[in-house]
Structure 1
Amino acid sequence: MAQIPYMFYTFIIIFSVFFVTTKSDSILCTTHAQCPGDMCELPQFVWCVVGFCECI
């Protein structure tokens, strides 16, 4: 019975590390002008969404 919480906590640790590493390369911004123009391939364009530069 004690193995179920142990497995649950293990999954939490593994997924938290995964989520932290996926956001590490994000570029922070407050306006669209702060995002680099060559970040995206055409026909996408760069947009500042919730504080991060994203290709839309």
Structure 2
Amino acid sequence: MPKIMEFVYVMIIFLSIFVVITNVNAHIECKNDFDCPKNMCLAPRVAWCVNNKCECVLTYGPKYSTMKEKLLQKEKI
């Protein structure tokens, strides 16, 4: 019985490490596009500052010029 309780305690401690270390909602804060790291996104996406967070945005297509404005409007809703 003591070995089982010890195992349970060790598992609780071990699993709690992952809960503390893992931050799924982590984001990079920014004030403009130049604050976002260049290597954050894979091509053809680039890092843009949208509502003070760096976001990876697709940069080709017919609506490329208005894409950032649409993202900003979507976040306000």
TM-score interval (norm. to shorter): 0.5 to 0.7
Q: Report the TM-score, using the length of structure 1 for normalisation.
A: 0.58
Aligned match of 1:50 = 51
Q: Structure 2 stretches of 5 or more lacking a match?
A: 1-22, 58-77
Q: Which has the larger radius of gyration?
A: 2
Deviations 1:2-49 (A, max 9, x none): xxxxxxxxxxxxxxxxxxx542x2000001000000000000000000
Q: Percent of pairs identical after alignment? A: 37
Q: Report the TM-score, using the length of structure 2 for normalisation.
A: 0.43
Task: State the 1:52 CA deviation.
Answer: 0.1
Distance 1:33 1:42 in 2: 17
SS in 2 for 1:45: strand
Aligned match of 2:35 = 34
Counterpart of 2:29 in structure 1: which amino acid? L
Counterpart of 1:42 in structure 2: which amino acid? A
* Matched positions, count: 35
